[in-house]
Amino acid sequence: MELILRQDVENLGFKDDIVSVKNGFGRNFLIPQGVAVLATSSAKKVLAENLKQRAFKEAKLIEDATKIANTIKGLEIKIASKTGSGDKLFGSVNNANVAEAIVKAGTEVDKKFIKVTGGAVKRLGKYNATVRLHRAVVADIVFEVVAEK
């Protein structure tokens, strides 16, 4: 079954992509949730026209996202956290903590677009995270978890 996505779907596609899914997934989940519509010939024509009109705006968005990505890549992020014995943390450091550290550095990034490699961090050290600013712009950042004094 071919569908046109109305919004980004994790591990499936981005908004306005034409995707092929199994009938049950499309009919029972995607369409009733309002996440996708059937990809009929008329819907494809409307989508093509919308994409043409949006191309110029998209170029501006990509340019802005690239500027933010370059700014983020240049940051040296250190996140202070309480530690127990050795290098174990009380609690963990996740995407919300990384987003908060980026905001303190002066750049606004939503926490839902940040993925910490390996999930939540539970030890001191250097770690990687990816920030998806746009479907075409992804920035890899390195952050360090240090002991709180």
Taking the C-alpha atoms of residue 18 and residue 15, their distance in angstroms, rounded to an integer, is 9
pLDDT digits (tens, 9 = 90+) for 32-76: 999 999 999 999 999 999 888 888 888 888 999 999 999 888 888
pLDDT at residue 28 above 90? Answer: yes
0.85 surpassed by pTM? no
**Domain residue ranges in the chain:** 2-61, 69-147
Class of domain 69-147: alpha beta
Cβ proximity of 131 and 69 under 8 Å = yes
**Separation of alpha carbons 69 and 65, rounded Å:** 6
Place of tokens 């690239």: 66
Task: Render pLDDT for 73-117 as a digit per residue (tens, 0 to 9).
Answer: 888 899 999 998 888 898 899 999 999 999 998 888 888 899 998
pLDDT for position 139: 92
Cβ atoms < 10 Å from Cβ of 143: 22
The band of 20, judged by pLDDT with boundaries at 50, 70 and 90, is very high
Q: How far apart are CA 43 and CA 69, in angstroms?
A: 34
CATH number listed for the domain at residues 2-61: 3.40.5.10
